[in-house]
Structure 1
């Protein structure tokens, strides 16, 4: 095959998209892929920018078809392989058990996207192994043929191309799990949208657990990056990951109308759902996972040798609870911290790891420009806590502290004080709204809507839909 063969150039361009994400700007620099665009989809005016947008939209359409095929038949290997490529490209940000979210923000980390792609394979290939790299080449080759065979429908009328619609997720209802999580089960806590999370460790070769989902919401990219410019370790981004809890608390009692509850229930996008609560200053309940992307910022090697939490805690929030749990939870996270400890210790939840402080047995070395992703899952069963993450950094003869916050403010988390062992499980709250499998237990026909209940009288023997 000659070096001028368009297949060769397109294969190389797909490889670059897999390594750097299939963004429109990168597609503009992919002339062979732009030349592939079916005649029926060539835009007017015909420029590299408009072609890149058209190719990007066609990629999304291919992913939508694959998701529909997978939803109809989870054993469809072609659909799974296509969705794996979408994960490499940053177009698919959910795993096989996750809620499809075409609007989700892709992970900046190539390793996270590769881990997500590996979860779509059958059987899954989650470790960074030769087998996964071989699969990557096969997947990209097959996707090239998919492009050639794609029966592209006619484009919408000229003007703004209609964005890809939200793909409705098939309902998954496997029964309400016994509340809440048990500490010994934390090695199995992550959710339908965040399955395998990890610390990327560039200093060692063992297999690494990589995120099965990377629905990332950028918070504090500008703030943290600006604050840490002069530090030997720069904070590139602080991102909140979906844990699947979907439950939120307010410190005060809030009365919402039926129309407002329908508005929340009608949100079909995880990011917009979380934003609805964050914009109203709600606090996640029970557990939260945050991804911190760090980068070496010194011409000398630096090491991250510790991570502690600077926390203040008080009684848990008892105003209003939105209880909206997912039906199931899967797999593990890498680092966890119990906020109920007097002096919280960041530990590995890897069952093969040594007990105690993770950084007693590990450190993270960073050269200039080298990046590492650290994911911390915090949980509490007794308190409301505000905390910062303090990374201890060894830089030459100095030991420095790099403080990481959530968009300039402390990370916040409240315990869930409800208890199904009580006759009135929610009586510690002033107002409660049920959603997800919680509402399904009392209103099987409730669909996706929230319902308000009186926490002082409600029991799970109650049957109500409003």
Structure 2
């Protein structure tokens, strides 16, 4: 019995020594780190990079931005807006100093781009195998153009267009077409003879334009792609909401082309034909005119 007890005591002593050595080793590592030494490096072959996902979106929308032209501004709303002189001058300052705030105010008050709107879309591959983009189309819902308030601010110059694909929302099934400018005469189907293959984390930038001369449209963009042998469809929208654009109801060539709008504001070069309101000192700010009589 005593012999058995001694054997157990020896094993217990050895186990205690082992624990003590391990604790001492950890203590020295902690002291070395506190003293300025580098922490122990991962063992060779350790891969800290996450593996490509096998579920979720095969193509990530890295960023999307709606681009409003700065050389010629046209907006329309569904309802009539009344903007005070102070609001008008504040908007003009924000347009120069903080364009994002300016556009946020306009869109939050229901202002929609007229005739065309541009988007810059950055897409990123999100699979281990390449994902091939085979097409893009628009899912739209259209109705009569907006006829509430009309904003017009022309300037003397025009910007350079860098649009590569276009969607004509006047068509019943708009698909991505070649687009070299802002005209409605888009070319052939963009993806008829071309596709894009995205490797994991590889990006491609699309400059897109949507146009209409007949309707007010709300729309989303659908991507058609192949991931391996599986067909996939993904939707691009404005943070969960549709994009929108409206046709102008101005009758070009008429004596009073804007009489269909209930309210109208002009700025830029159009201000030269308008007498400012009393107290309105900023000659660049929006100023209200009578849409029934103003000829431009």
Which residue number in structure 2 is paired with residue 320 of structure 1?
Answer: 149
What TM-score comes out, normalization by structure 1 length? 0.47
Structure 2: unaligned runs, 5 residues or longer: 1-54
- The CA distance in 1 between the partners of 2:292 and 2:114, in whole Å, is 20
For residues 354-399 of structure 1, what are the alpha-carbon distances to aligned partners after superposition, in whole Å with 9 as ceiling and x for unaligned? 9411001110110001011112111111110000000001111111
Q: 300-309 or 432-441, which moves further after superposition?
A: 432-441
Do structure 1's residue 455 and structure 2's residue 281 form an aligned pair?
no
SS in 2 for 1:304: strand
Do structure 1's residue 411 and structure 2's residue 256 form an aligned pair?
no
- The CA distance in 2 between the partners of 1:394 and 1:312, in whole Å, is 27
| Selected match of 2:133 from 275, 291, 304 | 304
Aligned ranges for residues 296-375 of structure 1 at < 5 Å? 296-332=125-161, 333-350=163-180, 355-375=187-207
| Selected match of 2:61 from 224, 232, 235 | 235
Which residue number in structure 2 is paired with residue 398 of structure 1?
Answer: 230
- The CA distance in 1 between the partners of 2:175 and 2:234, in whole Å, is 17
Verify the 8 A CA contact 1:440 1:446 in the aligned structure 2.
Answer: no
Structure 2 CA distance for partners of 1:385 and 1:377, relative to 1, 3 Å: same
For residues 168-191 of structure 1, what are the alpha-carbon distances to aligned partners after superposition, in whole Å with 9 as ceiling and x for unaligned? xxxxxxxxxxxxxxxxxxxxxxxx
| Selected match of 2:101 from 272, 276, 285 | 272
Pick 1 or 2: higher relative contact order, CA cutoff 8 A, min separation 6: 2
1:308 Cα deviation after fit: 0.3
Structure 2 CA distance for partners of 1:288 and 1:326, relative to 1, 3 Å: farther
| Selected match of 1:430 from 262, 281, 284 | 262
Structure 1: unaligned runs, 5 residues or longer: 1-228, 461-466
Do structure 1's residue 292 and structure 2's residue 118 form an aligned pair?
no
- The CA distance in 2 between the partners of 1:355 and 1:282, in whole Å, is 30
Which residue number in structure 2 is paired with residue 251 of structure 1?
Answer: 78
SS in 2 for 1:331: coil
- The CA distance in 2 between the partners of 1:301 and 1:277, in whole Å, is 40
For residues 48-78 of structure 1, what are the alpha-carbon distances to aligned partners after superposition, in whole Å with 9 as ceiling and x for unaligned? xxxxxxxxxxxxxxxxxxxxxxxxxxxxxxx
Which residue number in structure 2 is paired with residue 92 of structure 1?
Answer: none
For residues 180-231 of structure 1, what are the alpha-carbon distances to aligned partners after superposition, in whole Å with 9 as ceiling and x for unaligned? xxxxxxxxxxxxxxxxxxxxxxxxxxxxxxxxxxxxxxxxxxxxxxxxx811
Which residue number in structure 2 is paired with residue 283 of structure 1?
Answer: 112
What TM-score comes out, normalization by structure 2 length? 0.72
SS in 2 for 1:356: coil
1:330 Cα deviation after fit: 3.5
Aligned ranges for residues 14-163 of structure 1 at < 5 Å? none
CA RMSD of aligned residues (A): 2.1
- The CA distance in 2 between the partners of 1:411 and 1:251, in whole Å, is 15
- The CA distance in 1 between the partners of 2:215 and 2:87, in whole Å, is 29
- The CA distance in 1 between the partners of 2:160 and 2:273, in whole Å, is 25
Verify the 8 A CA contact 1:250 1:318 in the aligned structure 2.
Answer: yes
For residues 387-440 of structure 1, what are the alpha-carbon distances to aligned partners after superposition, in whole Å with 9 as ceiling and x for unaligned? 000000111111110100011100000112223411112111000000122223
1:443 Cα deviation after fit: 5.4
Which residue number in structure 2 is paired with residue 261 of structure 1?
Answer: 88
Q: For the pair shown, which has the larger CA radius of gyration, 1 or 2?
A: 2
SS in 2 for 1:438: helix
Structure number having the greater strand percentage: 2
- The CA distance in 1 between the partners of 2:254 and 2:121, in whole Å, is 38
- The CA distance in 1 between the partners of 2:254 and 2:275, in whole Å, is 20
- The CA distance in 2 between the partners of 1:375 and 1:275, in whole Å, is 21
Verify the 8 A CA contact 1:243 1:287 in the aligned structure 2.
Answer: no
Which residue number in structure 1 is paired with residue 24 of structure 2?
Answer: none
| Equivalences, count | 230
